Structure 1
Amino acid sequence: MASVPSDPVRSERRPRSRRRLGEDERRAQIVRAALAVVARHGYAGASTTLIAAEAEVSKGLLWHYFADKNDLLKQAVVTTATRITDELIAELDVTAPPPELIRRSIHWIAAWSLGHRDELRAMDQISRSQRGADGLPDFTLADYEPTYASQEQLFRRGQQLGYFRPFDTRVMAVTYQGAIDMMLSYADSHPDIDIEQYADALTDIILAAVTA
């Protein structure tokens, strides 16, 4: 942050300098702006003019970082989802017993969502609406593959350590992720619910289903 001159006369003569953002910071700034605009105006109303204004950059600068509007919105979802995953992993002890790891993961996601409802709503709109040049959806369940694979590893580790009973880990991974997504969607449409209580109940149900 630029320092404020102590001399008010000098301050009037010389405008405050603004810190120049690096490439990664500028890209992140534009991504945040894109999600904010989608949350506020909807997918159809999220023009590049509004996104540039929200990011406080020229419209032409958008295309220095992204190929077109579709690329910008797709990357907004992809990079934000990656950031959320990285933040979750950073907060967890991945060596903890699998039941404990599941409980902490669900509660972290529930707590995180409370302060990021607009962001999640925008990501959901883009994921449902975005189409490529061929007219096909840009996002499908295939994009969950890395998530499913990671969760399968967790369930298999729980089985190997004797915490979990035998079951199809792929089916459970899909079910588990679907339950988390539904928790977030339900909380968005029912903002008065106690999402922490919901997370507790959901965790109990999942662990009851898998525990040996």
Structure 2
Amino acid sequence: MTAPPEDPAPLEPARVARTRLGVEERRAQIVAAALEVVAERGYARASASAIATAAGVSKGLLWHYFADKDDLMKQAVVSTVEQIGRELAREIDVSAPPPDIIRAGIGWIARWSVSHRGELRAMDEITRVLRDTDGQPAFSLADYEPNYQQQEALFRRGQELGYFRAFDTRVMAVTYQGAVDMMLSYVDSHPDTDVQQYAAALVDIILAAVSAPAPPPARK
């Protein structure tokens, strides 16, 4: 009796999963893997090998797209923040009244945070831990400048249209960004929090602070 044929050797997992992607798609794939590994293992244990495995690529391919691990981690934060901004811009009617834009924007980021807790947690850890070549923090408040400028423009538009009272738009932009960041940090550390209720309350507080006083009722 002849022996049964041997089972074919399994294909290597990396070869099965690997597809030819464009440069930006491949970078995005590696960035997503980096955030996933940091979220699961922490920054210190997020090795290049673990990231490559999560991305389904060879370790050497990482350095085709990024200079080193520090560069990968920094670009992971920068590119994800940019992606959040693009997604937010697609979801919000920027021609709407400024109070409506604020309400829609904070509501959207609150909803986004629920389904992206791991990414937010990883980004927070990277921004706290990553250092530049001089040993200084790789991220600082200066990295918020594009956000501050966009928010200032929105507040100035609200003032010009009569929705908002007179105030220092830079101070309000910094306060606004800080309040949103604190919302994300708080709901992450308090997972039972109703994030939509929190967002709605935060919007009410911000609009109460910036809104122009209502005109007095007309005399009869």
TM-score by length of 1: 0.92
Equivalent in the alignment of 2:121: 121
Instruction: Name the CA shift for 1:126/1:17 in 2 (closer, same or farther; >3 Å).
Output: closer
Equivalent in the alignment of 2:216: none
Distance 1:59 1:209 in 2: 51
Equivalent in the alignment of 1:101: 101
Equivalent in the alignment of 2:131: 131
Give the % identical residues.
Answer: 69
Computing the radius of gyration from Cα coordinates, the structure with the larger value is 2
Distance 1:120 1:59 in 2: 25
Distance 2:119 2:193 in 1: 19
Alpha-carbon deviations, 1:164-197, whole Å to 9, x = none? 0000000000000000000000000000010000
Equivalent in the alignment of 2:192: 192
Distance 1:42 1:85 in 2: 25
Shift of 1:53: 0.9
Figure out how many residues of one structure are paired with residues of the other and give that number: 201
Distance 2:137 2:87 in 1: 27
Instruction: Name the CA shift for 1:17/1:103 in 2 (closer, same or farther; >3 Å).
Output: closer
Distance 1:17 1:170 in 2: 48
Mark the runs of 5 or more structure 2 residues left unpaired by the alignment: 1-7, 213-220
Shift of 1:19: 3.2
Displacement over 4 Å in runs of 4+: 15-18
Alpha-carbon deviations, 1:65-118, whole Å to 9, x = none? 000000000000000000000000010110100000000000000001100000
* SS state at 2:135 partner: coil
Instruction: Name the CA shift for 1:21/1:204 in 2 (closer, same or farther; >3 Å).
Output: same
Root mean square deviation of aligned Cα:
1.5
- Residue type of the partner of 1:56? G
Tell me, yes or no, if structure 1 residue 91 matches structure 2 residue 91: yes
* SS state at 2:49 partner: helix
Structure with the largest fraction of helix: 1
Equivalent in the alignment of 1:80: 80
Question: Within 5 Å, which residues of 2 pair with 1:155-170?
Answer: 155-170=155-170
Instruction: Name the CA shift for 1:37/1:151 in 2 (closer, same or farther; >3 Å).
Output: same
Q: Is the contact between residue 18 and residue 56 of structure 2 (CA under 8 Å) also seen in structure 1?
A: no
